[in-house]
Structure 1
Amino acid sequence: MRKYIFLLIISLIVLALFAWIVKKQVFKNDGEVKVGVLFSKTGTMANSEQPVINAVLLAIEEINTRGGIKGQKIIPVAYDAASNWKRYGTLAETMIKKDKVDIIFACWTSASRKKVKEVVEKYNNLLIYSTQYEGIEQSPNIIYLGTTPNQQIIPAIAWTVNNYGKKVFLVGSNYIFPHVANEIITHEVKNLGGNIVGEAYIPLGSNNVDHAINDILKSQPDIIFNTINGDSNIAFFTRLNTLASDIKRPVVMSFSLSPEDINKIGAGKITGDLAAWSYFITQNLPENSDFLKAYQNKYGSTKNINDPAVTAYAGVYLWAQAANEAPSLTPNVIYNFMLRQSVASPAGVIYIDPYNAHAWRTVMLGKINNKGLFDIVWSSYNPIEPIVYPEFNTRAEWELFEYKLYLAEVD
């Protein structure tokens, strides 16, 4: 009898010790769960990234009012990366080593993501990336929630070429995403019987756009596919309207044009142009109505909300669901628990593919009206499976192609 009592006591001690260890693993920040929020409040990307910061902080606030992570408060640790991709890597390391964050919500551009990728892989942390991108990447330390080319770019090409013509000009910022996107666009346009009549790149953040516009006017395309990022979009559309004032200019299909950019360009200068996203503010969903009301109450206006902001907002909820289910906040544990998550978001249902850690997303094409809002002209209606590596090249060929682009940026 004494033997059984002794074994029972030992078992209870072991269980208590195990529970204590698990608790320490889950809440290693004195009862608080720290998350990194790393975007740009200043510089060329500020117009695009400030709404993402706002949305992440709103989601954290909402989740905290509902009990946080297993009763523990989420504490955001935020820094301004100032639109400098090297600074993203430095600050991500600070967040992990000094601030002891459990996860990082970060980045718009692929250049900044590449720097943070190096850091989260080095320290085995986790990045949630919410912007549409070129694909051609998988990491055990990143959950990719933005669209891949088959979910955004390829549907937009087919619809636009079929509706506006087959002479295409490509313009973009001079970094990884636009170059890869234009490689894909070129392939798809040729498959549709179209041709690329010109291609031009603008340094990220530059307002020197006249050379690109002059090339556009000389080549007289039916369509401009635009992969410019940041506030260079403002200069591009402003000068395009000025220099093309005497002619009917071609329609522009944009893949990274923010509502804040449209507000600053002026709706009258951009009415009739197009954009491809997985979220427009005009979507008629109850989750979107609730989100817009909460955003309005917190920030006073909803004019600047963009797709990556709503995706990041959903990303916080996806992470919180995983964290509340998981036995610890260890990055590889959370990563695996996130692979089973889905959420009804303001952009519709988002769920993470368990095989490639990318999100299934619904894509829409919108035409800008005279109020600066988007009228949805086409939708996939259902979420599209993410294809990380476009199938007309091998994975090895794509990775080599992108690696050369990345080396050129580093140099």
Structure 2
Amino acid sequence: VEYLMSEDGGSAERFFLLGTDYVYPRTTNKILRAFLISKGVPESSIEEVYTPFGHSDYQTIVANIKKFSAGGKTAVVSTINGDSNVPFYKELANQGLEATDVPVVAFSVGEEELRGIDTKPLVGHLAAWNYFQSVENPVNEAFVSKWKAYAKAQNLPGADKAVTNDPMEATYVGINMWAQAVEKAGTTDVGKVRDALAGQTFEAPSGYTLTMDEKNHHLHKPVMIGEVQDNGQFSVVWETESPVRAQPWSPYIPGNDKKPDHAVKSN
């Protein structure tokens, strides 16, 4: 959102928060709304809309986005999940709403979602992740080539178009950190491995060295914003200089400042 508000990101003043109706988008948008208000964005410049899983008719919603954007420079923050993304972006194109007019930054659209679909309606729109296949470094080159070779050797569906993405990189890092913790603990005992995970580091395909927080077991990871290209890949247009320390409790939600990093939910 800070990028969208910057000159490079289009100097957005109004925000349309569009998501699938379940806990992740609603929690994300609760945080985003509080963050935007802290930045001086008035309530009247924030619109929040949810659709059910599998929703496909975005004609009215896109028309409302178009109308909303007439009030000033607007960006859409999308937490739409799954197949609904295809008709949403198609409708944006149908109504002539281009990325240069109203950019959409998605939190759930990556290389796998773009694989095998017409990416023309999405070109120029954005996605925010911790990793993109297109990042250039030796670790990622090896990661991508190994996955493509494995997909081909195992004759996986669509192996000729195999791609990596953020959830895959996260799983790869997690498995490797677990293995490192097992070696350190000398056992697979859950409690001892958990203790050994604290402070683990791993050189990730993202090009950054990731750290498992010693207090809350969340990863310190970079943030990247990628622009959709017509080949289904992303061009990284912005990224943090270093990994961001994990904050399990958003400081923008009232009362969260009193929650300790190690707070856990008891059963």
Work out whether 1:275 is the aligned partner of 2:127. Answer: yes
- 2:133–2:163 contact (8 Å) kept in structure 1: no
1:51-200 to 2 correspondences below 5 Å: 157-163=1-7, 164=10, 165-195=12-42, 196-200=45-49
Please give the TM-score of this superposition, normalised by the length of structure 2.
Answer: 0.82
Partner residue of 2:202 out of 343, 367, 370: 343
After TM superposition, give the deviation of residue 371 of structure 1 in Å.
2.5
Give, as a single letter, the amino acid of the residue that structure 2 aligns with 1:395: N
Q: Which AA in structure 2 matches 1:261?
A: E
Deviations 1:331-353 (A, max 9, x none): 11111111131111112211100
Q: Secondary structure at the match of 1:231?
A: helix
| 1:390 aligned partner | 250
Higher relative contact order (CA 8 A, sep 6+): 1
Aligned equivalents of 1:357, 1:247: Cα separation in 2: 37
Q: How many residues align?
A: 242
Q: Secondary structure of the equivalent of 2:48?
A: strand
SS in 1 for 2:115: helix
The one-letter amino acid paired with 1:277 is W
Find the partner of 1:356 among 204, 212, 216. 216
Cα separation, partners in 2 of 1:354 and 1:247, compared to 1, 3 Å: closer
**Which of the numbers 196, 200, 215 marks the counterpart of 2:64?**
215
Q: CA deviation at 1:320?
A: 0.9
Q: How do 1:282-297 and structure 2 match up within 5 A?
A: 282-297=134-149
Corresponding position of 2:262: none
Q: 1:228 aligns with which of 80, 87, 101?
A: 80
Of all paired residues, the percent bearing the same amino acid is: 25
In structure 2, runs of 5+ residues without a counterpart are 153-159, 260-267
Is the CA contact 1:278–1:307 (under 8 Å) kept in the aligned structure 2?
yes
State the Cα distance separating 1:365 from its structure 2 match: 1.2
Aligned counterpart, 1:203: 52
Aligned mates of 2:116, 2:93 — CA distance in 1: 14
1:215-258 Cα deviation digits (max 9, x unpaired): 21221261101111222111211122113369975110111112
Query: Which residue type is aligned with residue 240 of structure 2?
Result: S
1:377 match: 237
Q: Partners in 2 of 1:353 and 1:331 — Cα distance?
A: 17
Whether the 8 Å CA contact 1:259–1:303 is kept in 2: the answer is: no
Q: Is the 8 A contact 2:99 2:124 kept in 1?
A: no
Secondary structure of the corresponding residue to residue 289 of structure 1: helix
Note if 1:365 corresponds to 2:244.
Answer: no
Structure showing the higher helix proportion among its residues: 1
The superposition leaves residues 42-68 of structure 1 with CA deviations (integer Å, 9 ceiling, x where unpaired) of xxxxxxxxxxxxxxxxxxxxxxxxxxx
Question: What's the TM-score once normalised by structure 1's chain length?
Answer: 0.55
Q: Judge conservation of contact 1:197–1:219 (CA < 8 Å) in 2.
A: no
The separation in 1 between residues aligned to 2:99 and 2:135, in whole angstroms, is 34
* Runs (4+) off by over 4 Å: 245-249
Q: Which residue of 1 aligns with 2:265?
A: none
Contact 2:222 2:244 in 1 (8 A): yes
1:11-32 Cα offsets, whole Å, 9 max, x none, are xxxxxxxxxxxxxxxxxxxxxx
1:258 maps onto 2:110 in alignment: yes
Distance 2:235 2:94 in 1: 25
Question: Alpha carbon RMSD of aligned pairs, Å?
Answer: 2.3
Give a deviation string over 1:341-377, Cα, whole Å, max 9, x none.
1111112211100101100001111112233321111
Give the gaps of 5 or more residues in structure 1.
Answer: 1-156, 399-411
Give the CA deviation at 1:267.
2.5
Are the aligned partners of 1:367 and 1:375 in contact in 2 as well (CA < 8 Å)? yes
Indicate conservation of the 8 Å contact 1:170/1:224, yes or no.
Answer: yes
Q: Larger radius of gyration, structure 1 or 2?
A: 1
Change (3 A) 1:397 1:316: same
C-alpha distance in 2, partners of 1:278/1:340?
Answer: 19
Deviation at 1:262, TM superposition (A): 2.3
Does the 8 Å CA contact 2:53/2:84 hold for their aligned counterparts? yes
Counterpart amino acid of 2:170? T
